[in-house]
A and B are shown apart, each in its own frame.
Chain A
Amino acid sequence: MSSSVSDRMQARDVPTVRPSDLRQARDLMFEAARSGQRVLLHGAGTAQSWGAPVGDVDVVLDTTGLDQLLAYNPADMTVAVGAGMSLAALQERLDGQRVALDAARIPLGATVGGLLATADGGPLRATYGTLRDLVIGVTVVLADGTVARSGGHVIKNVAGYDLTKLFSGSLGTLGLVAEVVLRLHPLPEATATLAVPCDVAAGFAHATALLACPLEPVALDWHEGRLLIRFEGTRSGVATRVRKAVALAASGEVLEGADETAVWQALAGTVVGGDGDTVLRAGTRPDLLPQLAARLDALTTGPSVKATLTSSVGIGVHTVRLRGGQPAEHAAVLAGWRSEVLAAGGSVTLHQRIPGLDELVGSWGRAPATAPLLRALKKRMDHDERLGPGRFAPWFA
């Protein structure tokens, strides 16, 4: 876990402000605007290394004081919270229900707002999406102190533009996510995971065969030489589906309870990475997985860098962790693999880096054709370009 940005802020003695409600957040953003201060929005700090490094800022706005449970309506299956609340803390408050998101950094304290701003997701993403799909209302504070809401407290709602989507993946550059209304799902009665040992090409072929059947796995991930197939539902329903999946695979181990938890935690461990690791996430057409895995192998034939890849096979979301070796080796793998992904029409977001990587390779690949539009949106939302400056450089300021 790299927290280099936070460390740098501390080292530079950048003052931190910590609002405890929406009014204070608005006042602080307004104050920063009036004095022309550049602001770093900071939740639990679990994703401050995503994207490009933020340049100099004058103040850090710590969102973790915005942690109130504002309204929980179990019968409507909606909950409104301050966006600085950690998702793990929120889950504890819910009764027989959940926010259907299992991003790897949730146990580390990731906040609801941070999870929206990073568009992060875990294996459940294949069925439930990310917070962009689960947030039904949002309140944001723009750089000039404007407080704006969109959506509301009902699941079905098409009134007005959906600012949730604009803020999904914005990495703190368009405004502060202050309050969020979420859609909840029932906790499943039972879960089980079938782990099928295979190489990545066989894993993809098997996943394709499985998805052609109406077995409805909730997650389908390849990790460390195994295809992990997770089912959720009623007790007897899960048992039936696991039985059918075992028959289809002709091999594999059924994991339940602590064993099941452990195998998914190991996957999360790869995604989160450790100190000195480089971690990146890519999105591509799902069937490119075998080719991209082979390319990664070819780029890491040397003895020192070990690449670990995990992929949500059905939706083409891949996370790569590079461990060991020198920054130059990481840079070569990043540049080589990223160009392959971009050439295939995919995207790559850097999540963390080995120290020294930034001197060797850019955090983002070539700018998309939408870069002028992104710049226009940035100008309209944050006219003086004071929020998270440099995060998307060179795509926009």
Chain B
Amino acid sequence: MNAIEHLRDTLRAIVGPAGVISEPTELRTYECDGLAGYRVTPALVVLPSSSAEVAEVVAACHRAQIPFVARGAGTGLSGGALPVADGVVVSLQRMRAVLEVDPTNHRAVVEPGVTNLAISQAASAYDLYYAPDPSSQQVCTIGGNVAENSGGAHCLKYGFTTHHVLALEAVLPDGTLVWLGGDSPEVAGPDLRGLVVGSEGTLAVVTKVVVRLLRKPETVRTLLADFPSIEQAADTVTGIIAAGVVPAAMEIMDQLAIEASEAAVGAGYTLDTPAALVIELDGPADECGELFETVQKICHANGTTKIRIAADDTERARIWTGRKAAFAAMGRISPNYFVQDGVVPRTRLTEALSTIAAMGAEASLRVANVFHAGDGNLHPLVLYDESRGEHDRAEKLSKAIAELCVDLGGSLSGEHGIGTDKACSMPVMFGKEDLATMDRVRRAFDPDGLCNPGKVLPTPRLCGEKPGPYRPHPLEAAGVIERL
């Protein structure tokens, strides 16, 4: 009996025969996440039902020195849940109970397989909700959100998963079950909960999540403003921030994105406008109304050609449908596309977008833009046609766009994660010592390299012997910061 067969029997004893998948055809269901370009079939998939079972499963993998990858709904966009060949996928899909909603203490305790939206639904009876709202919230799981430190359209005001998770029950890579964080944000010693949030499943397997719930705002006001250019829309965003207003969300779509979205869902966006800006304010009614007036004035000052104000919840939902449909709708205007996730400082949005347009023109490819303008998180969609042999050119352009964001003082990824997809680009953003320090953290948790290996940090196997030369950060080049 080989090591995998032996482990299969051990796992069957832990979770029962029905909880272990080893048939090649069934295994293929797990071969990729939302980034379908990367595919690896795992040796086994195991579906534990409790924290204790996860701990036993991980301990068994650790004893056998076989790598494992935790997986939620598989909606990730960076290959973070890509299996390891000859390794185990630990699916958390059987752990989907909302264990407790505590309205007095404004929190909920949930299992990792619970969807993001289900938390807000469970809390809704108490006028509470869970703030981070990634576009995939109907299907993505809280365990995956913790792994990716997910944001969503409203993170400008409300922050990311890390700001809303109080505690995690987690299985360390040797199978030890621990609690990280606590019942209060005040804890003693280093913030291990914060370290694990956003670590892309490389430090631990999360088995319970204690989330903070917020009181629903009294009012939500939403508008959709058309602009004659992307620049004017971006200037409006800057103007609103400069006025001291912190909207819940500010989202920009360009004409290509609007065209695709309208073809898919017909949310009533203006088809021939070069740019549309969605602005949402929430909070106490009087204040929200007052600031909503300010925001409209700033839109007019920047040359808006049309403002549509959502009169009720239905119309607000319609505006958001148009925005949230944009990604999936790209299929309407292009057979294939890459999504990027780079971030630039808000004040460099205009520069980033015009450079991206020029890069697209040079590569003879169309680039659609849908982005979280308030926090500078771009989602350029590089459109291409595989059948015309455009794949490699599009991939190259997409990668160049992510690296452009770093050049402009930003980041490779705002919310999708590094995963498999961008691990080899990490040296563009971080130096050797930075990456080596991150690796020290990883080894403190996982000295044997078993927990989601090959993700986040570049490895020679993945990226070639040399992970690319270090390039000075633009702020270093400008003398603002020093590398040494």
Q: Measuring CB to CB, which residues of chain A are less than 8 angstroms from any residue of chain B?
A: 21-23, 26, 70-71, 73, 75-78, 80, 96, 119, 121, 125, 129-130, 132-133, 139-140, 142, 146-150, 152-171, 174, 179, 185-187, 189, 208, 211-216, 233-234, 236-237, 240-241, 281-287, 314-317, 345-349, 364, 368-370, 372-374, 376-377, 379-381, 392, 395
Cα distance A285–B377 in the bound complex, in angstroms? 35
CB distance from A314 to the nearest CB of B (A): 7
Q: With A75-B346, A149-B430, A234-B290 known to touch, is A167 a contact of B241 (CB < 8 Å)?
A: no
Cα distance A163–B442 in the bound complex, in angstroms? 11
Cα distance A26–B218 in the bound complex, in angstroms? 51
24 A–B contacts, CB within 8 A, in A order: A70-B480, A71-B475, A132-B194, A133-B163, A149-B430, A150-B434, A154-B409, A156-B414, A157-B343, A157-B411, A158-B413, A158-B418, A159-B429, A163-B441, A166-B190, A168-B190, A171-B189, A214-B215, A215-B284, A285-B105, A369-B176, A374-B189, A377-B441, A392-B189
Inter-chain contact B430/A284, CB cutoff 8 Å: no
Inter-chain contact B482/A153, CB cutoff 8 Å: no
Closest to B431 in A: A149
Number of interface residues of B (CB under 8 A): 98
Other CB < 8 Å A-B pairs besides A152-B409, A158-B414, A165-B194, 4 of them? A73-B347, A370-B180, A374-B189, A376-B445
Interface residue SS majority, chain B: loop
By a CB distance below 8 angstroms, the chain B residues around A211 are: 106, 215
By a CB distance below 8 angstroms, the chain A residues around B244 are: 96, 186-187, 189
By a CB distance below 8 angstroms, the chain A residues around B193 are: 165
Interface flags for B408-434 (1: CB within 8 Å of A; 0: not) read 011111111110001000100111011
Residue among A78, A163, A169 making CB contact with B188, cutoff 8 Å: A169
By a CB distance below 8 angstroms, the chain A residues around B311 are: none
Inter-chain contact A379/B287, CB cutoff 8 Å: no
Interface flags for B38-51 (1: CB within 8 Å of A; 0: not) read 00000000000000
Closest to A187 in B: B244
Cα distance A260–B429 in the bound complex, in angstroms? 46
Residue among B186, B198, B215, B347 making CB contact with A281, cutoff 8 Å: B186
Inter-chain contact A213/B183, CB cutoff 8 Å: no
Cα distance A129–B149 in the bound complex, in angstroms? 17
Inter-chain contact A156/B195, CB cutoff 8 Å: no
| Segment 209-265 of B: residues with Cβ below 8 Å from A | 215-218, 238, 241-242, 244-246
Inter-chain contact A76/B346, CB cutoff 8 Å: yes
Inter-chain contact A168/B411, CB cutoff 8 Å: no
By a CB distance below 8 angstroms, the chain B residues around A374 are: 189-190, 192
CB distance from B164 to the nearest CB of A (A): 10
Inter-chain contact A75/B190, CB cutoff 8 Å: no
By a CB distance below 8 angstroms, the chain A residues around B417 are: 158
CB distance from B284 to the nearest CB of A (A): 6
Inter-chain contact A147/B413, CB cutoff 8 Å: no
B79 interface hit (Cβ, 8 Å): no
By a CB distance below 8 angstroms, the chain B residues around A285 are: 105, 183-184
Closest to B188 in A: A347
CB distance from B61 to the nearest CB of A (A): 18
Residue among B159, B178, B216 making CB contact with A133, cutoff 8 Å: B159
By a CB distance below 8 angstroms, the chain B residues around A142 are: 437
Q: With A133-B163, A237-B284 known to touch, is A160 a contact of B430 (CB < 8 Å)?
A: yes
Cα distance A159–B105 in the bound complex, in angstroms? 32
Closest to A189 in B: B244
Q: With A75-B238, A236-B287, A240-B287 known to touch, is A130 a contact of B182 (CB < 8 Å)?
A: no
CB distance from A187 to the nearest CB of B (A): 7
Cα distance A168–B190 in the bound complex, in angstroms? 6
CB distance from A110 to the nearest CB of B (A): 17
Cα distance A392–B190 in the bound complex, in angstroms? 10
7 nearest A-B pairs in the assembled complex, by CB-CB distance: A283-B186, A165-B194, A237-B287, A283-B184, A148-B437, A186-B244, A316-B184
Inter-chain contact A159/B411, CB cutoff 8 Å: yes
CB distance from B46 to the nearest CB of A (A): 24
By a CB distance below 8 angstroms, the chain A residues around B238 are: 75
Inter-chain contact A316/B186, CB cutoff 8 Å: yes
Closest to A157 in B: B411
Cα distance A21–B484 in the bound complex, in angstroms? 11
By a CB distance below 8 angstroms, the chain A residues around B172 are: 373
B397 interface hit (Cβ, 8 Å): no
Cα distance A154–B378 in the bound complex, in angstroms? 12
By a CB distance below 8 angstroms, the chain B residues around A133 are: 159, 162-163
By a CB distance below 8 angstroms, the chain B residues around A146 are: 433, 436-437
CB distance from B160 to the nearest CB of A (A): 7
B481 interface hit (Cβ, 8 Å): yes
Residue among A71, A77, A213, A379 making CB contact with B215, cutoff 8 Å: A213
Inter-chain contact B345/A73, CB cutoff 8 Å: yes
Inter-chain contact A317/B410, CB cutoff 8 Å: no
Q: With A75-B242, A76-B346, A156-B151 known to touch, is A348 a contact of B188 (CB < 8 Å)?
A: yes
